[in-house]
Each structure stands twice: as structure tokens, then as C-alpha cells.
Amino acid sequence: MAYAVSTGTRFAISTTLGAAIPVTAISNAAPAVITAAAHGLAQGAPFLLKSGWEDLNDSVLQAGTVATNSITLVDEDTTDLIAFPNGSSAGTIQPITAWTELQQVTEINPSGGEQQYAEINPLSQKYGIKIPTTRSAMSWEMTFGWDNKLPGYKAALAASRAGRMVVIRMALPNGGAVSYGYGYITVSETPRVQSNQITTGSLTLAMQRPLKTYA
């Protein structure tokens, strides 16, 4: 058990992804193993996975144990053959080959991920019931000290204007957890100006998958 302190947390945005490497199969196992010939990834390297399995598609993952033609996925259980049907896992992986730091981040606010319910009111009962269904779409809103000359701002703005999906990495200080979010980024190009306050900007990352965190 431990407490995490946010001071010293660093953020970065992906600016270059490597060429797509074919994935021929992902095993139904815990942990799952990707088969990708001569993938070249090192242990701990992050990558974007495209897969026929919807519950893993558009995920940013870290390579666990690696061999020449295989990658073990840390903390990924694909033994459920309903969610992960055998024979339909093929796709691609793309290594994240370049990052640009997002500087001067002052605050990050997550939203979404709330449990949704189907509500039922049987005629024979006095009280309605709720059955959990999906969770709402998730996003991150980041506030930062506005400076349009900073490389991180320029990289985020370019992706926003192009409608390009990116990875945002959050690394806690002192070798703490590293988290990855992937989705569409939108940068507010108008800074917020207040008396006796720093000038701030904001961006939003509309995530395609829940935040993935590695210890």
C-alpha cells in the first residue's frame, strides 16, 4: 500500500508511430501472447494494437516478455472465448517511436466512465430494477500554462487540426506508474485570461479505451 504524489508528474504526446507490423494471432491465455514476425520491440516498449478483437482494438499496451516473433501482454486475460473468439484476433502493432513533452501542465480532469444501466419496471414489483450495461465514453481535460511557442503545444495543435488520434503518456515521479490514453485530441486555441492568474490553455483527449496503467 502506498500513496502517490502528483508533483513531478510528466506528460508527453506521441509524435511518430512506426510502420504497422502484421499480427497473425493473439492467444486465448492469461497473459495473452501476440504472434508478430520479427517485430523488433524491446521489453517495456509501448505500442498501439489494432485487432479484430473489439475489446483490445485501439489499445496502447506495453510489451512484457519478448521473443523474436512474440510479445507477452502484461495483465491481459483473453481466456473468455465469447469476448475474444478464437481465429479473429489478427491485426497490426505500431511501436511509438517518438514523444514530445507536454510542458507546463497544471491540472488534469478525467470525465466519463460512469456505469450505464437498463432500467426495468416489472408490473409485479413495487420497485424498479437496474441492470448494468455499458460505461459512458471517457475523456481527459488538461489545463496548462499557455505558451504557443512550446514544442508540446505545437505538436498537440497540429494533431488537433489534422483530426489525428494520438497517445498521451502520464508518468508519475520517482519511477512510479506510467499510464497511456489514446484518442482524438482537441486543443482550445483561445487562452483563458483572468486577473491575478496565469494565462492558461486547455486540451481534451477523447479516449477510445480506458486508461491503461503499468506499475
pLDDT digits 0-9 by tens, 11-65: 999 999 999 999 999 999 999 999 999 999 999 999 999 999 999 999 999 999 9
Compute the average pLDDT of residues 140-164: 96
Q: Which residue has the cell 515521479?
A: 173
- For the chain, list the domains and their CATH numbers: 16-97 (2.40.30.180), 101-214 (2.40.30)
More confident residue, 3 or 99: 99
pLDDT band at 3 (very low <50, low <70, confident <90, very high): confident
Cis peptide preceding 31, ω within 30 of 0? yes
How large a percentage of the chain has pLDDT more than 70? 100
The answer to whether the Cα torsion of 83, 89, 91, 97 is positive or negative is: positive
Q: How many CB atoms lie within 10 A of CB 82?
A: 5
Report the distance separating Cα 164 and Cα 100, nearest Å: 15
pTM summary value = 0.87
104-114 confidence digits (pLDDT tens): 999 999 999 99
C-alpha cell at 178: 506510467
